[in-house]
Structures are given as structure tokens and as C-alpha cells.
Amino acid sequence: MSSIEQKINLLQKFKHIFERPSLKKDLEGYTKKIIDSYQKELLEITETVMNNNMNNYQIRNMPHYAKNILFLRNMIFRAAAPMKRLELSNKSDVVKTYNEVCEMLVKKQIYIIMEFFTTVDNHKSKLQSPVFTSVTRSNGERLIVVNFDPVIFQLIREAKVLERNHIKLLKPAETVLIQEDKYKRYFNELNEVIGE
């Protein structure tokens, strides 16, 4: 069987059926194998996150910060689902490993969320910059262009995805998200004015 969840389901089905001591001993051996494979999976999760393989995690059209947060949430779910079903004492090595892995995943997730909020604060000042700016082409011609950083649109996408995944946004990110339509409309209207 491929997943630990499926193995646990099968184990629990047979646990109630077998009453003979020899069969119970076989069942205990199988339980030990499941716990060992679960501990290996926890170590794989740790290795994946510590080696920064989150960047290899591809979700179609998903912005950077949101992708990494969803990856970490999936790893937390992957670690937590079997633990809820296994009957282990709090002193076992697997429980200690599980607690360490979950702590590491939650800390990493908080770090990425705080990094996103720092990015929002840094780019918030760009909204205060002049609306138009002049750009000199290579042939010496000067053009007037709308001075709107494309990173703002990226931050709006990030904030949307984070909000959809029930992550509380700080005030600056929430403000940028609420004013999304206004920013896009102003950007398009100003580009039309320059184009005329």
C-alpha cells in the first residue's frame, strides 16, 4: 500500500477481528512496521523542507509566498493525519519526532508570512511616489510613463490567495487588496491618457 493512512485503515479493520494471540502478535508486528514507515516519512518531510525543496513545488498560477505557505500546510497535514489515528504514548520517539517536525513547519510558515508582510510594507511606499515619470530611451528620446511598480500587482495576487486560504492579513496588505480595482483602473486610465 502506498500511503500510511491506508495502512492504518486496514490495520484498524483487522484489529477488531483477530482474537487469537498468534494473530495479535502478527498484527503488532505490522503496527510496528507502520510506525517505522511513518517515522521515515516524518524525516522525509523534514529533509524536504530543510533542503528548501519548497521552490520545486509547483502549483499552477500560484504566487511565490502563497505557494510556499500552501506547501508547508500540506506538509503539516501529511504529518498530522496519521498521528491522529495511531495510538502512541507521549514518550515514544515517533511522537517526539512528530512534535519537532510540526514545530519546524509552523515556524517556517510564520517566517514566510512575516516575510510577505515585510515585502508589503517595503512596497507600500512606492504607492506614494509620483504618478508619472520620464524615461530616456537609448536613442535619447524622453517618454512619459505611468510610474506604477508591477510588484504591487504581484502583492495583490499574493494577498488574494492568502486571504482565500484563511490567513489573516495585516492592515497594509488588506488595504492594498481592498483598493485593487481602484489601482488597476487608475493604471489603465493613466496609460490611456499618455497614449493619446
pLDDT digits (tens, 9 = 90+) for 75-90: 898 888 888 877 777 6
Is residue 79 within 8 A of residue 109, CB to CB? The reply is no
SS (H, E, C) 140-191: CCEEEEECCCHHHHHHHHHHHHHHHCCCCCCHHHHHHHHCHHHHHHHHHHHH
- At residue 101, the pLDDT reads 92
* pLDDT (tens digit per residue) in 76-127: 988 888 888 777 776 688 888 989 999 999 999 999 888 888 888 877 776 6
Reply yes or no on whether the pLDDT at 60 is more than 50: yes
pLDDT of residue 19: 66
Question: DSSP code of 1?
Answer: -
Question: CB burial class (10 A; 0-12, 13-18, 19+) of residue 101?
Answer: buried
Mean pLDDT over all residues of the chain? Answer: 79
Residue 12 has pLDDT above 70, yes or no: yes
Residue 194 pLDDT exceeds 80: no
Q: Where are the domains positioned within the chain?
A: 4-195
pLDDT digits (tens, 9 = 90+) for 154-193: 888 888 888 888 888 877 778 878 888 887 887 788 778 7
pLDDT (0 to 100) of residue 1: 41
Q: What per-residue confidence (pLDDT) applies to 25?
A: 74
Percentage of the residues of the chain whose pLDDT score is greater than 90: 5
